[in-house]
Amino acid sequence: MSIELNTNDGQVTITNDVIATIAGGTAVECYGIVGMASKSQIRDGIAEMLKKENYSRGIIVRQDEDKLHIDMYIIVSYGTKISEVANNVQSQVKYALSQSLGLSIDSVNIYIQGVRVLKD
């Protein structure tokens, strides 16, 4: 699926992969995030961390009529307050997508797939 925008210069098409890549890149820059996790792959309670080029595998972009919803699957750092990390990711993703693409996001749902201890 994709989003069609009509501007003064013509029609712009934004794919869900572009939205997911921008959202994933923004999320991993937030404090307390270790990485993105796959939305469908959890084996034995261990979540696989995704590389930069695979962020769209850990994010689902849904459209209901003219509203946009994003589901993000993340791995957080041990010792951080999960509610604060999730709130920060939600606000940063909404801001980044509104600034870069001009989209208003109705909801950003955060799913914690694991907690990891960062090694120095």
**pLDDT of 95-107, one tens digit each?**
999 998 888 889 9
Rounded distance between C-alpha atoms, residue 44 and residue 35, angstroms: 18
pTM for the model: 0.81
Residue whose token pair is 């098409």: 13
Query: Tens digits of per-residue pLDDT, 57-92?
Result: 788 999 887 788 999 999 899 999 999 999 999 999
The full set of domain ranges for the chain reads: 2-116
Topology given in CATH for the domain delimited by 2-116: Alpha-Beta Plaits (3.30.70)
**Burial zone of 81 (CB within 10 Å; 0-12 exposed, 13-18 middle, 19+ buried):** exposed
